[in-house]
Amino acid sequence: MLIFGRADKVYRSQGTLIVEESKFPFNPNKYLQTFEPYPDHKLQTLLYLNSLFASESSLDSRTWFAIPHSKKAWIINVKDRKTGETIKTFKGLQTSELEQYMKDNLERFAQIVAGQTQPQHHLRQNKCAKCRVENCQHNLSPKR
Ligand code: SF4
């Protein structure tokens, strides 16, 4: 199983490998009262943190490389769509609990891909409204 994606920013500081992602929600105000990012946003940064990297987009494994590090950290910036201003930042180190969380999700994803288990619907109309998957039978958006 290959999961392929493009991180917004990857860098290393004092031996810590850091993946930074920016999100531009339609309604940034809902983040003002929250103290944790959405689980799928955190999962996305964890997947990048535990990946091999390539400087250019490439599916050729010969161009992939590891970035040596002593610790891993994730940062999620929530930004205003119009101004680009950061209105909230979530960040933390990759703990053993988070690593297990990522492994559990990967295992479940592999089981779904293999047809061994059924996916659960997230039941969020807004998410379906913004989704670019065509002709999805499970689309909940009234606008489709
Ligand atoms: S349209 Fe389908 S694939 Fe897209 S978010 Fe909704 S359920 Fe998921």
Dump pLDDT digits (tens) for 43-53: 999 999 999 99
| Residue nearest atom 6 of ligand 1, based on CA coordinates | 128
Residue 144 pLDDT exceeds 70: no
**pLDDT(1) > 70:** yes
The token duo for 126 is 């807004």
Go through the chain and tell me how many residues it has. 144
Buried residues in 11-40 as b, exposed as e (16+ CB within 10 A): eeeeeebbbbbebebeebeebeeeeebeee
Pair type for strands 16-23 and 86-93: unpaired
CB distance 144 to ligand 1 below 6 Å: no
- Whole-number Å distance, alpha carbon 1 to ligand 1 midpoint, is 21
Q: Quick one: pLDDT at residue 33?
A: 87
Which residue's alpha carbon is at the smallest distance from atom 5 of ligand 1? Answer: 128
What's the average model confidence in pLDDT over 100-128?
A: 93
Best CA proximity match to 11, nearest among 64, 61, 75, 62: 75
Place of tokens 């339609």: 26
